[in-house]
Amino acid sequence: AQSVTQLGSHVSVSEGALVLLRCNYSSSVPPYLFWYVQYPNQGLQLLLKYTSAATLVKGINGFEAEFKKSETSFHLTKPSAHMSDAAEYFCAVRSGGYQKVTFGTGTKLQVIP
């Protein structure tokens, strides 16, 4: 079984401040983890993914995430928020060769000027 928990359905940060979006996972086998972003009226697009090659993963638009097995976490960070980062972010887990991907409930990021 696999599941994902995203803490905080809404997060607000000031422009230029650190962005931290939290994700914890549960998986019975080594997981593959993903962060997706959804801009208004668009589909989801991949930000970054963890595939066991490196625990710190860098993605597009300056985002990165660190896989911590001991904490079963895969939190998303960005050092300095930009207005264009305002969107909804989804964490997702895929267990091994299983095709099914389980998504979290999403976190809406608001960036305050």
Separation between Cα atoms, residue 81 and residue 21, nearest integer Å:
12
CA distance 36 to 92: 8
Q: Please count the residues of this chain forming the interface with another protein, following the rule CB under 8 A.
A: 20
Beta bridge mates, 48: 35
Nearer to another protein, 80 or 105 (CB): 105
- Site map 17..56 versus another protein, x via CB under 8 A: ---------------x-x-x-----xxxxx--x-x-----
With beta carbons less than 8 A apart as the criterion, state whether 88 and 109 touch: yes
Q: What is the dihedral of CA 51, 99, 89, 64, to 10 degrees?
A: 10
Within 67-106, which residues bind another protein (CB under 8 A)?
90, 92, 96-97, 99-101, 103, 105-106
Interface residues with another protein (CB under 8 A) are: 32, 34, 36, 42-46, 49, 51, 90, 92, 96-97, 99-101, 103, 105-106
